[in-house]
Every structure is written in C-alpha cells, then in structure tokens.
Amino acid sequence: MEDKVVMITGASRGIGEAVALEFAKRKAKIVLVARTPEDLERVRGRVLDAGAEDVLTITTDISKEEEVEVMLDVTLSRFGRVDILVNNAGVGYFKPVVDTTLSEWQTMFDVNVTGLFLCTRGVLPKMLEQGSGHIINISSDVGRRTIAGGAGYCATKFAVQAFADALRKEVQRQGIKVTNILPGMTDTYFANSEQGAEHKRDWLKAEDIARAVLYAASQPPGVLVDDITLHPMVQEY
C-alpha cells in the first residue's frame, strides 16, 4: 500500500475513519472526504500519526455532482492518480414504508446510490488510463436480504450490489477491480445511533470492516475479491 492514493468517502468517523487508519499504517497517501470539516481535521491528525505519507481532506457532499467534480480535480492536482476508492458514505432511515417520507427516501438514494455512482464515475477515467485501480463499496448484508422497517435502505443496497456486479463486467479486463463489503450488525454511529452502546457490545466493530477492506485491496494483481460478507456471531439471519 505504500504510496498508493486511497480516497475514502464518509471518512469523518466510524468505518471510514477505521479504513483510513488501516491504510495509514501502511504508508498510503490518503484522501479523506466527508461533509464536516471539523471532523475531517480530527481524523487527519490521527491518520498522520498512524503513518500516512500524505493526507488531503476535502469537504464534499457526494450527492452533488459539482462538488464531486471539485473533489476529483483537487485530488488529481495533488496526487495525479487514484489507486483505490472506498465508497463508504451512507445514510439510513429505518421505519415502516407508510411512515417513510419522500425526503428520507430520496436522501438515501441520493447518498447511497447516486453519490456512489458519481464518485465511481469520477475516478474511472484515470483508473482506465492507468490500467489499474480498485473500487471498494461498503455496502451491507441487506444488499442480499431484507428486513422489516428497512425497505428504503435495503433497496439502496440492492442497487449498489447490482451496480457493482455490472461495473465489474465492464472494467475487469481493463485491470480495474470492484469489491463489495457487506457487513451485518456493526457498532458505529450509523443512523444516529450511539457507538459503544451496551446493546452493541458483541456486534462487529468498525475495525473489523476496515481489515476486510485492506484484505481485498492487498491481493495480488491477478486476484479479485468480488464480495466479503461479515456477521457478528450473535446475529441471526
């Protein structure tokens, strides 16, 4: 991973922060992307302390095309390439369909699907030019199953799975890898919950997901990891 340029969305806390720290320990160059500049600066300090060669923070709403274009321009001006894109940013509202507002539905699709598409489409020209690259999506195990009260969120993750599977068929022969990470119950701040809450004690940790990302990214050029599904031992599914 030394000198690889790794762009991580949703990098201000939780899984994104953990992923950044894993790559930092291996001397990568890190691009931290999120909507909150104060949180990005906090993570930047931790990532530098962990050993990153260089760290760039870019405040971006990935659901907005013009902001994603600026993000990519700034990154390429600084580093000239993107080797790994970790599409981690995501939002979720969990309630019955009858109680889900159109705004909530649209927000989930704007971030979880459109944002992922914009970031992926943005890095692809440079990766195709390089003849190498790796797109890693932090999806969810509900990209392959469903849960009551999560119809909208499940729909976005099914969309991510389909998008990734189709994209892989487009770009695999051109040296670009596409991997989906599908975690089960994970102890983070997701959906405005409390990280470290007692009822999450036996859930997956952000670091578990980060190690899965690193595993996929660390394979030799001829090895592709399509999907990694992780569940805590306490989860029934």
Q: Measured on CA atoms in the order 224, 215, 145, 104, is the torsion positive or negative? A: negative
- Say what angle helices 14-24 and 206-217 make with each other, to 10 degrees: 50
**CA pair distance 12, 40, nearest whole angstrom:** 5
| Among 153, 189, 215, 237, the one annotated catalytic | 153
Tokens of 203: 């859930």
User: In terms of DSSP bridges, do strands 204-205 and 227-230 run parallel, antiparallel, or are they unpaired?
Assistant: unpaired
Catalytic: 215?
Answer: no
**CA pair distance 154, 209, nearest whole angstrom:** 19
**CA pair distance 11, 130, nearest whole angstrom:** 25
Pair 116, 36: CB distance under 8 Å: no
Tokens of 86: 């970790």
**CA pair distance 86, 34, nearest whole angstrom:** 12
Give start and end residues of each alpha helix (H) in the chain: 14-24, 37-50, 65-79, 102-109, 116-130, 151-171, 206-217
**Residues designated as active site:** 153
